[in-house]
Amino acid sequence: MPAISPDCGLGTAITFSSGFLARVQSIELSGIERAELESTTMASTGGAKTFLPADLYDPGEMSIEMQFDTDVAPPIGGATETVTITWPDAETWACSGFLKSFSVNAPVEEIMTATAVIKFTGAWTF
């Protein structure tokens, strides 16, 4: 089997500490979210609610569109592992995560693709 690159063609690469590898076509990083906590009290004035930022944030998840290779098994039952995103400017973001879902699209006479969703857990390293 020829070597494949995790690079999506624009210089962004995704690597997994388990060695799982795919030819990435695109990524969507969404859901890094910090909740707001309402702090309005009976003593509040001004006619508007007040809020404070939560101490913790949800590290979100990432959807990866990739070329599907039947020789590479998705780690759907695997443990949490380090997932690293290397951006075109060589900066990296890393977070622990696990494979939440994996789906395949295999149209006739076209390139088979797959979508993997990684759920992140714990703090990001930027």
**Residues 88-125: pLDDT tens digits?**
888 999 999 999 999 999 888 888 899 999 999 999 99
How confident is the model over 41-70, as pLDDT tens digits? 999 999 999 999 999 999 999 999 988 878
- Answer whether CATH 2.60.40.10 is correct for domain 13-34+54-125: no
* pLDDT on residue 80: 95
Question: What is the token pair recorded at 96?
Answer: 């622990």
Contacts of 120 (CB under 8 A, 6+ apart): 59, 60, 61, 62, 83, 95, 96, 97
Percentage of the chain beyond pLDDT 90 is 53
Domain spans, the chain: 13-34+54-125
Give the Cα separation of 118 and 66 in Å (integer).
13
Beta-carbon-side half-sphere exposure of residue 78 (alpha carbons within 13 Å): 22
* pLDDT on residue 59: 97
Question: What is the token pair recorded at 123?
Answer: 């703090």
Q: What's the whole-number mean pLDDT along residues 35-42? A: 96
